Amino acid sequence: MEVILKEDVNKLGHRGDVVKVAEGYGRNYLLPTKLAIEATVANKAVIEQMKASAIRKSHAEKGGAEELAAKLNELVLTFERKSGENEHLFGSVTSQDIAHELELQGYKIDRRKILLENPLRTVGEFHVPIRLHREVSAHLQVTIKSDAPEKVESDQAEDDTAFKSTYHGEVDFQRE
């Protein structure tokens, strides 16, 4: 089945391309989600107009993406997560977490555009690439901090704290 792509589809092609896809993929995904139209004789005549329109639209999107990339390159996201020994997180920070935090700060970015190979599972600073346009990428700085309180150096201070936190009554230390 041949289809004409109306939007960029990852690993398939760009807007305006005529591509050959499996029948099921075209009928069940591309056509219903309006990512493509069927490549008939009439639709092929419209391809040239679509390509010219796509070029204009792409230039406009690229300009907007470059502005957004400049803002995102300066942005630092901070996450506080529970961590165990060796600064290993209980859980992880995923592209969905990053997209949600960006949305809270006023940036609407689809989580699939955040190019995170594996979820972040350790405490530290990371640079996460974001594909805003096929020619424009931004690098977002993500800092993950542990929410555990700092360890006390003195063993005695730890013992006192442990005793005070576990027992809140009066103690009679006299022996009979």
Over the stretch 113-127, which tens digit does the pLDDT of each residue have? 898 888 999 999 999
Q: Which of 29, 61, 93 is the last residue of a domain?
A: 61
CATH code, domain carrying 31: 3.40.5.10
CATH code, domain carrying 105: 3.10.430.100
Domain that holds residue 30: 2-61
Do 98 and 121 belong to one domain?
Answer: yes
Q: Which of 32, 61, 90 is the last residue of a domain?
A: 61
Give the H/E segment covering residue 93: strand 88-93
Query: Does residue 166 belong to any structural domain of this protein?
Result: no
State yes or no: pLDDT of 162 exceeds 70.
no
Over the stretch 97-107, which tens digit does the pLDDT of each residue have? 999 999 999 98
For the chain, the domain total comes to: 2
pLDDT of residue 170: 55
pLDDT of residue 141: 92
Tokens of 38: 């069927």
User: What's the CA gap between 35 and 6, in Å, rounded?
Assistant: 5
Instruction: Report pTM.
Output: 0.61
Pick the closest to residue 2 from 33, 44, 34 (CA basis): 44
